[in-house]
Structure 1
C-alpha cells in the first residue's frame, strides 16, 4: 500500500493578501483572525512536513495552483534529472535562437535560392526525446503536434516520445499539457544527423489560490486476487 497526501482548497478566500499584516510564515487576516500560511515558495518536501506536524489543526494557506495535488509521502529527489532539466532549458534556448535566425533568413531577398532548396528538401529527420516538468521530472501524457497538421503523439509514462513521421528542417513541433505553457520548437538539424534527440522543459501556468486547506491521505488498495 502506498500513502499519498492530497492538498486542496474547496472554497477559495476573496480577501486581499496584500492587505494582511506580515507574519513569519505568511500574513494575518483580520477578517477571520487567522494566520494565512504562504506555501507558494515551499518545495513539496516542506509542504508534506508541515501537514505532518499540523495534521490536527485547521490551516488557511496560499498556494500556486500547481501545488494543489497529491504528494508522495516520501518524495524522491533526483539530482541527475535536475541537471537534465537545466540542459533541456539550454536546448530550448538553442532551438529558439535558430528559429529566430531562420525567420531573419527568410526576409533576406539575397537568399531566395537557398530558401527554395529548403522548401523542397526531403522529410528525413527522425525526432525523439523526453519532456520534463518544472522540477525536472518526466511529464507523461504531453501532446506533441506538428504545426498546422493533425499529426502528433504523446509522451509515455517516462515522459519519452518518438514522433510518428519523419520531419524536415524548419518544421515546427508544439508541446502542450494542461496547466502548463505550450512550447514551440523549430527543427534545425545542424549536424545533418538522421535522428534529432531533444529534452523539453515545460513551465507551469501560475495562479495563486488562497483559502482553508483540505488535507487528506489517499490510500491505494490492493488489487482483488
Structure 2
C-alpha cells in the first residue's frame, strides 16, 4: 500500500474575464487560449482529484476557490499499477482511499463581524507529487564523475536530525546499495555523498519519485585562492 500526496496550484493566474467566457458543461470556454476553463470551485475534493488524475498527461486550465489550493490531497494506492481511469473512479473507494488536509493545521480565528470574499483563481493547473517510500528496504544507485562510475566517495544515510544512520562506499563501477530501516524512531530522510576534491551532494527522499537506481553525478570542487592581495 503506497500513499501519494498531491498539491495543486496555479503558477500564473489567468486575467481573462470569467463572465465574458462562453458557458459550457464543465466550465467556460476561453477564446483567448481556445480551451475550456474547468470550474472546480463547486466540486468536492474527490471530484477534483478524480478529474485531474484522469487528465494528468494533459494541460488543464481551472477555476478554484483559494482554500482549495491550500490543501494536500492524499491518495492511498492498493495496487502498484494504479491509474485513475474511469473504471477506478466508478469503483470508488473500493480501490483507493482518499483524503484532503489543509497545509496549515493551525487555524487563525476570523472576526465574524466582517464579510470576507475572495475571488476564485483561474489559470493553468500545476501539480506537485510526493510519494511514501516507507515500504522500501534499501536505496541505491550509481555514482558518476565525468560520465564514468566513481568509487572514491563516502555515502552516508542521514536521519531528520542530521545524524548518520549508516555509511557505505560504492564498488569500482560506482554502484552502491544501502539498507533502509523505517522502523527507527528517526526516519531516514537523505543520502549525503562526499569525496576529496568533490562538491558534496545531498539527496532528500521526498524530492524523488524513486529512491532506487539513482544516477548521482558529482563535480570537481572549484579551486579558490585565499590570502592577502598584493599589488605590483
Q: TM-score range by the shorter chain?
A: 0.3 to 0.5
TM-score normalized by structure 2? 0.42
Question: TM (normalized to structure 1)?
Answer: 0.44
Whichever of the two has the greater Rg, that structure is 2
Greater share of helix residues, 1 or 2? Answer: 1
- Bigger relative CO (Cα 8 Å, ≥ 6 apart): 1
